[in-house]
């Protein structure tokens, strides 16, 4: 009888210790899940003025901006919701609801990104980075303006989308960066799958560059406050 009691007591102690350890191990992930859910609720309930909306979208902590550093260069991609594009175009402290609705209708059917390539030092001229000749400079300008579009793709699940809208923002003075406006078609997986932007860098020999945007971040945005 005594042995049975001791055995039962030991089993109970071991069980309680195991539960305590499991609980301690599970707490961080449980806490993270709760925080994520709360964050999603808070984001969807946010109503921001145009200037605040732009700042929120541009904040890397909110997941709509990704960057990768390779040697002396920084490759940065900004996802651009329709409301963000409108705020940047209008540059007004407040926007009329009717105007926003009209502009959003014109942006439907495409998804938009900004790609920026910049020198990590923040100095010099990007187009002259590692330049071998004057002819190579001209080739770079032409490639950026007309051919680079063919070396950029967006992957959504099993779908690979071409870059169907492309514009190189040419700067005619010394600047350590280059910006490209990108647009991709929308399909049935656009709102369901993570998005990976793939750039094949032929100019600076950085190879394949991949930047991924989790779809749960892109689907949970604040609301733009309108009049």
Confidence band of 182 (pLDDT split at 50, 70, 90): very high
| Cα–Cα distance, 10 to 16 (Å, whole number) | 10
Residue 101 — very low, low, confident or very high, per pLDDT cuts 50/70/90? very high
**Residue range 202-224, pLDDT digits in tens:** 999 899 999 999 999 999 999 99
pLDDT (tens digit, 9 = 90+) per residue, 31-82? 333 333 434 455 878 899 999 999 999 999 999 999 999 999 999 999 999 9
* Residue 69 to residue 116: CA distance in whole angstroms: 12
Average pLDDT over residues 131-160: 94
Please provide the average confidence, as pLDDT, over all residues in the chain.
84
Q: What is the pLDDT of residue 42?
A: 55
pTM for the full model? 0.79
What residues have CB less than 8 Å from 136, skipping those under 6 apart?
none
* Banded pLDDT at 122 (limits 50, 70, 90): confident
Structure tokens at 204: 């600076």
The single-letter DSSP state of residue 107 is H
Per-residue b/e over 188-213, b at no fewer than 16 CB within 10 Å?
Answer: ebbeebebbbbbebebbebeebebeb
Percent of the chain with pLDDT over 70: 81
For 47-224, CATH gives 2.60.40
Measured distance CA(23)–CA(190) in Å, rounded: 38
Give the residues across from 199 on adjacent strands: 152, 209
């Amino acid at each position: 009888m005594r042995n049975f009691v001791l055995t039962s007591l030991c089993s109970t102690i071991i069980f309680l210790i195991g539960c305590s350890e499991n609980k301690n191990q599970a707490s961080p992930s449980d806490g993270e899940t709760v925080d994520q859910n709360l964050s999603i609720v808070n984001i969807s309930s946010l109503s921001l003025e145009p200037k605040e909306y732009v700042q929120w979208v541009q904040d890397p902590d909110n997941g709509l901006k990704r960057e990768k550093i390779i040697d002396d260069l920084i490759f940065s991609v900004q996802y651009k919701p329709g409301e963000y594009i409108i705020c940047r175009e209008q540059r007004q402290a407040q926007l009329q609801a009717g105007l926003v609705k009209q502009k959003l209708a014109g942006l439907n059917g495409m998804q938009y990104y900004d790609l920026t390539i910049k020198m990590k030092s923040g100095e010099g001229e990007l187009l002259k980075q590692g330049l071998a000749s004057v002819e190579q400079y001209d080739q770079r300008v032409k490639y950026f303006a007309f051919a680079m579009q063919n070396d950029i793709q967006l992957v959504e699940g099993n779908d690979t989308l071409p870059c169907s809208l492309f514009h190189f923002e040419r700067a005619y003075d010394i600047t350590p960066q280059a910006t490209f406006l990108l647009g991709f078609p929308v399909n049935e997986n656009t709102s369901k799958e993570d998005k990976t932007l793939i750039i094949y860098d032929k100019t600076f020999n950085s190879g394949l560059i991949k930047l991924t945007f989790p779809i749960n971040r892109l689907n949970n945005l604040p609301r733009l406050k309108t009049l």
